[in-house]
A and B are shown apart, each in its own frame.
Chain A
Amino acid sequence: MYSATIGRQRHTFADLKALLAKATPLRSGDVLAGVAALSGEERVAAQIALADLPLATFLSEAVIPYEDDEVTRLIVDTHDPAAFAPIAHLTVGGFRDWLLSDEATTAALSALAGGVTPEMAAAVSKISRLQDLMVMAAKCSVVTRFRNTIGLPGRLSVRLQPNHPTDDARGIAASILDGLLLGAGDAVIGINPATDSPERAHALLSMLEEIIGKLAIPTQACVLAHITTTLALIGRDSPVDLVFQSIAGSESANKAFGIDLALLAEARAAALALKRGTLGDNVMYFETGQGSALSANAHRGVDQQTLEARAYAVARAFKPLLVNTVVGFIGPEYLFDGKQIARAGLEDHFCGKLMGVPMGVDVCYTNHAEADQDDADALLALLTASGVNFVMGVPGADDIMLDYQSTSFHDALAMRDLYGRRPAPEFEDWLARQGLMDRANRIRPGELPAPFRALLPA
């Protein structure tokens, strides 16, 4: 039982998960789940109680029981007490103050990551404003490598997302060429397939390998099929660079995705054995998003933001190249409007980075949410200022297969110009060699170079 007394009223919270849920800034998913605070005052009372909570409490009380949930077991069993030692004496409020202080340098934060549990990260984010989330995240650095280097200071990478509603190879290739021309694709060239057919995935992977090979692009490819499909493709020698999977923060939610930790480990081992990375061995690409556990009825009474942070504990166990929170995709029943989407995006980016996860964000919204391009512009700018590792590049911000709006090649270019962020260094050199940069080092393509056009499948 936790409590806070405000004036003459004593607010009580039955357990840790109730305290975390009630302390969470308002969002529709927590209301839908029935775990949200019932008033503004109750929410702040919970935040006051949470701020006084010793961080060590999170090591003795689990939001989902250890016995019931392999994600909890992963969090507890892999916690690094030595990394945790410098903050072991702090409360949640004290931890926030320390993170904002000049003592919390990039080096100190990197050393701390293994000692931070998802619940600790979530707790701090709940008592932080957007500005705090930005300031704290900007000091974190998580660098990963496969065929290039992603997440270095001053860099902003882009996943080129060339989806097509029928997986048409030429249609996808045309979008890839447009994206490459505009400097996208250094995070990954990643296709969401319209169907989960192994044949189609194999054909798309082969096309991506040909494009990357012929143009000698220092980047990696991915077809975002279910992990079981990708494993089968590895077994038959398809050119698999990265293994993709959607993940969530509870064992039962992962079961709804058709996965468990053992399957993730098996797939990672299979991808590592291919030895296709030239600079590093980060071979996993995960996607997450607040609300996914609730949508599978697997939230276990835990608020959606805490569950999201727990998904990052799953991610970091497998040393991913990229982790992408698809923040506005899930719809208004989880994140109602542009304000809730913006906060969730900055929370996710901060929690992931603090835990040592290479965070990118799909800044996006659906047509049934109360959001538009202005909301997307605002969040993209805040994330770029926060040092996000990568964002999406979708032609014209309009994904014609998944039917939602993400960020465009142009959006990413505008952010690179506005904030002075550059592509991954190996990819930047490649862009320069293709003649796609102007004298001021800005990406300013002219015509489609002949070698690009020659790559269109027959």
Chain B
Amino acid sequence: MSDHAQHLQQLAAQQWLIPFFPLVAAAIQSLLPRSARRLSATLTILAMGMSCLLAARAFWATLPVGEQHDEVARAFFNFTWFRFGTTALEFGFILDPLTAGMALMVAFVGFWIFVNATGYMAEDENFTRFFCFLSLFAASMLGLVVANNLLLLFMCWELVGLCSYLLIGFWYFKPSAAAAMKKAFITTRVGDIGFFIGILMLYQHTGTLTLYNAEGTGALQQAGSLGQLAGWWGLSLAGTIALMLFIGAMGKSAQFPLHVWLPDAMEGPTPVSALIHAATMVAAGVFMVGRMFALFTANAGDWVMDFVMWIGCITALFSATIAVAQFDIKRVLAYSTCSQLGFMMMALGAGGLVAGQFHLLTHAFFKALLFLGSGCVIIGTHHEQDMRRMGGLRKYMPITFWCYLVGMLALAGVPPFAGFFSKDEILVATYHHNKLAWVLATAAAFLTAFYMTRQMFMVFGGTWRGGQHDAHGNETTGHDEHHGHAHHEPHEVSWNMWLPLVVLSVFAVFMGWLGTPWLAGNLFHHYLAPEMPAPEHANIVVVLSVVVGAAGILLGWLIYGRRPMQHAAEPDPLAGTLGGLFTVLNRKWYVDELYEATIVRATQALGTLFRAVDKLVVDGILHAIAWIWWGVSQLFRWIGDELIINGGFDAGCESVRGGGRLLARLQNGRVQTYLRVMALGAVVLVAIYFFR
């Protein structure tokens, strides 16, 4: 074993430290009083900083050195969690490029989101609770990333779900937030059933949930042989398991048709949205698919990869169309996240593991940037989220404007910003795999450029429309709790809110260079998957992606930039052109209404049916029996009771009742008194047992 390999081994054994610090921070903060605001924020940020340093150290160690260019630097550390009879449940941590890159991204982006959150939440009275949940969120996501065991991964996966539930519903007193938190939890739960079935099947057929182990019997190391066995629905066994796992990823990463929870997750505070949309939660699904990629590709004949690609492709286009017609600044970004996640899944399905993961990383930076930017806008405009009542913010919030512009250009895929290179990789991978999917994805890229331009002009262009009265009944956001401030002019935010924007912008500009084919032959590809051949470059893809990006921005300028909105009540210029279609898009293709009409109604109908059965059949039987016995007892009453017993017993009964009344005093109805007597009795019994 070489020195380098040994070093990796040591680091892998210390991987648990990365999620450990935020976890401890969360534990401490759960005990802090509400007033310990400064301490709480300091703890969270310090812990995250530690994680970030550790992740950076691990990342540094996985960078390719010297001669070993052709194999992945992978080290793992397994240990027995507990033994159950002859079966041992193993836990383990892994250190490989996939984990290291992801962990560094989560810790780094998370760190800056936390810094921003200190500003955004500055006026909230439950500040400590918020930071406690944030720490736990980061800890569970980091745990998910470093796990070398599917069970550990699943536990962290569920913890991530729990934290998102807690944070989406952080303002639980708002009914919409309470509904959104339930929706997020239940929708992802639908996917998790599939994930769990996949885990059980994997355990059944491989006998282990450890992904890699030194003996080569880990679940992923057996993927090849699983690919030879027959599974369900014409898939190989590996394909079936992969499909089940993918259903879990669909829930977590908000893929169509389980995407409905993500836009509603906007009800949480904006830093939470940034965290959910960039570093944690939705990234988990894409990461998991990347982690289990060996199962997806185990049998080349399986349709599971095509399924992944098409789901991703549909999501990418579908969500992009919805984003065009939204008015809430965060909702536009939410649907764009859906769409970008679709891009990632599509890349994975087209076999582009590197492209998908690279887009996951770059997207995390610029989407965190955009969300934090929208948070700054919301704070700067005194809790306004409706883009129609913004405008002209470029003048009032220059720093936010420039950072937001960088994020927007990165998302729209303008060279040389980060999003261009990663999206380009995805389009290249798809182009080689399936031409139709590539065309649809290019259309989605066009829409991306368009709706981001629309947002830029509505929020930052034109003049400030905030002070005007809004007579527009069409979906106004209900978040404005500070009506008294609404007439004030917007202002730039404090340094702890804009500093993260600046830092993330730097990455949004330069990070893409790591994955370009023109610089040292795609550094990121060599880092993540040196054993795979890099996809061949296709000029038509690059040219077309630049053209549609430019066209989208140009169209956005033509419609929204040339003549900015003058008044908040003015209808969207697009609404006139698209007519009814605009309403359909604004109402998100009526998917929520469809679910309401089908699944929710069906469940309610089933409940009503069971209630009717209960009333008619079960109660009917009970009442019939009761009537029969009542009749029988009447018979006995006439024959026996009235004649024989009543004569002499009444007096006796009276005395028994008196005794009963006396004893009834003991039954004071207080459970704890009974318990006390019981405990006393137990003590007496023990005493008798010992001192007899």
Asked if A and B are interacting partners, one says no
Chain A interfacial positions (CB closer than 8 Å to B): none
